[in-house]
Amino acid sequence: MHLNHVTLPAEDYESSRAFYLALGLTQIVAAPPRYARFEMPGGSTLSFEVVAGGAAGTAETYLHCGDVDAEVAAARRRGIIFDYMPRDEEYLWRCSRATDPAGNRIFLYHAGKNHRFPPWRLDGLTTDPETGPDAKTSGERPC
């Protein structure tokens, strides 16, 4: 597993969006007034979701797995209780969720190319221009 996506709770869509754009992140998904996802160099992503009821200040953590079902089975054998078993989500990820002792939601997931290149991606990219079929072969990568 490796960490590559964090979703943070927010109270206001536009002010949160402006903040992360000002930090220099590239917005790749927009679902106002509730959700936005941003890409960072190297492909990691950060998103926020507007939540009601004063939940801002809590967090969700996503751990990418090659095989969610196998990782969940192994974690269950080690005593982890999952809120729900692996399932295919409408946003094209396979996910399972557990809750840690502090109440934080921990997701084990697999998204394949839909993590960075969902069909609704704002710029329309379907593959990474640096590694996809049309990538330059010089070996040099831009900063």
Structural domain includes residue 134: no
Instruction: Pick from 13-22, 24-33, 132-141 the range whose average pLDDT is largest.
Output: 24-33
CATH number of the domain at 81, please: 3.10.180.10
Mean pLDDT across the stretch 13-26?
86
Structural domain includes residue 128: no
Q: Which residue has the higher pLDDT, 51 or 69?
A: 69
Structural domain includes residue 80: yes
What does the alpha-carbon distance between residue 25 and residue 66 come to, in Å, rounded to a whole number?
Answer: 26
* pLDDT in the model for residue 34: 94
Mean pLDDT across the stretch 83-106?
88
What does the alpha-carbon distance between residue 48 and residue 89 come to, in Å, rounded to a whole number?
Answer: 18
Is residue 74 pLDDT above 60, yes or no? Answer: yes
Mean pLDDT across the stretch 95-104?
81
Q: Enumerate the H helices of the chain as residue ranges.
A: 13-22, 68-77
What is the percentage of the chain residues whose pLDDT exceeds 70? 88
Domain that holds residue 22: 2-114
Number of domains in the chain: 1
Q: Which residue has the higher pLDDT, 3 or 55?
A: 3
Q: Which residue has the higher pLDDT, 136 or 32?
A: 32
* pLDDT in the model for residue 32: 96
User: Facing residues of 50 across strands?
Assistant: 10
Structural domain includes residue 83: yes
pTM of the model: 0.65
